[in-house]
Amino acid sequence: MAHTPLTTPATPPDVPHAARHAARRTSDSPDLSQDEILRYSRHLIIPDVGLAGQKKIKAARVLLIGAGGLGSPLALYLAAAGVGHIGLVDFDVVDITNLQRQVLHGTKDVGRPKLDSARDRIADVNPYVKLTTYETVLTSENALEIIRDYDIVIDGTDNFPTRYLVNDACVILGKPNVYGSIFRFEGQASVFATEHGPCYRCLFPEPPPPGLVPSCAEGGVLGVLPGLIGTIQATEALKLIVGIGEPLIGRLLLVDALHGRFRTVTLRKNPECPACGTREIKKLIDYQEFCGVPQATADAKKDRELPEITPRELAERQKAGDDLDLIDVREPHEWEIARIPGARLVPLATLPEELPRLDGTRDIVVHCRSGVRSAKAVRQLQAAGFKRVWNLVGGILRWSDEVDPTVSKY
């Protein structure tokens, strides 16, 4: 990996503290068997790791939140490295769309709980790893209890509420939080919640409103990217465990895979941070509420109150030869993947320019991939005075399910 010039951290890296956490069980000094000595020989011959470091790795207890894109390389590499006890939190089942990046799971695992395929794979990678699985959503009710048993927490989640939850729980319990986050070709990584270092809230005091920042499911992600960021997180965890190097405490690593740029910026501990600064957050809060999810759900409910047409109804109207204007508000690259016959492409961002050309006397049906963007379009059209406008509920995905399975889902 390319080295970026490092700025002096604003906060002195408190490695000893983090390492103390990570290695609190080294007093147990687990011995390595001959088989383990051979297995870890490439670690043992690095002077910085050596036998003492490998024993620390064996004694370490690391909790991975999420067995998805980031969790896959994390689980594989930390297991291979010999982390003695790995905890894995996930509630999802393996979906075919996961396999482009989630290398912990295979084609044969589609439909299985991710924790089951993770267990099989980790046991194969390294039978010396003790794995504890938590098939649950991490919540304010269970987070402290789960995290308490571990030395280091690694955030491989895919949503803002869980990221703030993990952060606050780690600050409250004093556990280092190895952070990583990805979108399309770019990623971020850091180490939060060490004794003197900043936390996630120092970087982003509040989350964006729901819907502003697309998720990987909505916006896509290069399959390799979670590999890049997840292995950086795994590297940071091992550095903390062994107590070597310069962890990403007080620094944020920005990765731009498309342009081949790695860059670090300084992260300062915010003295006014309610989590790690003033410490006014003494217990976990409602993170769905904090992230505006209930409001977004209410908005989505309002979307359902918009005039809707189901794919079957639309197909019947098309078959009957009804005159209607079927508008697809997706992007051109999505149009290339799949389209509904009779539709024309007007990407959502260009809809305002199209308004003067629309015929208000015709019935207008708007569709997108799943029905969310087209709901926005319907609201825009209604606001512009169009009365005969319908949202195709479920979008092209439901069209594929209910009308024409030859139309590809994506």
Catalytic-residue membership of 216 = yes
- When asked if residue 69 is in the footprint of other proteins (CB under 8 A), the reply is yes
Minimum Å distance from CB 72 to other proteins? Answer: 10
Q: Does 392 bind other proteins (CB under 8 A)?
A: no
Q: Which of 180, 197, 250, 395 binds other proteins (CB under 8 A)?
A: 180
- Give the C-alpha distances (Å, rounded to integers) separating 35 from 28, 30, 39, 397: 20, 14, 6, 51
CB of 236: closest distance to other proteins in angstroms? 15
Residues ≥6 apart with Cβ < 8 Å to 350: none
- Which window, 79-87, 184-192, 236-244, 280-288, contacts other proteins (CB under 8 A)? 184-192
Which is the catalytic residue, given 216, 273, 276, 291? Answer: 216
Nearer to other proteins, 82 or 156 (CB): 156
Asked if 259 touches other proteins (CB under 8 A), the answer is yes
Nearer to other proteins, 86 or 306 (CB): 86
Query: Is 276 noted as a catalytic residue in this protein?
Result: no
Indicate the SS3 state at residue 174.
coil
Check binding of 9 to other proteins (CB under 8 A).
Answer: no
Distance CA 120, CA 95 (A): 17
Rounded to the nearest 10°, the torsion over CA 164, 161, 410, 299 is -140
Nearer to other proteins, 320 or 349 (CB): 349
Query: Using alpha carbons only, how large is the chain's radius of gyration in Å?
Result: 25
Among 22, 143, 189, 203, binds other proteins (CB under 8 A): 203
Which uninterrupted H or E stretch holds 343? Answer: strand 343-345
CA pair distance 165, 213, nearest whole angstrom: 18
Q: Nearest to residue 66, comparing CAs of 122, 137, 160, 146?
A: 137
Choose the catalytic residue: 170, 276, 291, 368: 368
Provide the β-strand partners of residue 221: 184
Nearer Cβ to other proteins, position 38 or 265?
265
Nearest of 318, 321, 338, 342 to residue 330 by alpha carbon: 338
Binding to other proteins (CB under 8 A): which residues in 128-157?
A: 155-157
Residues contributing to the site for other proteins (CB under 8 A): 7, 10, 66, 68-71, 155-160, 163, 180-186, 188, 203-208, 212-216, 219, 221, 226, 252, 254, 256, 258-259, 263-268, 270, 349
Q: Mind telling me the catalytic residues?
A: 216, 368
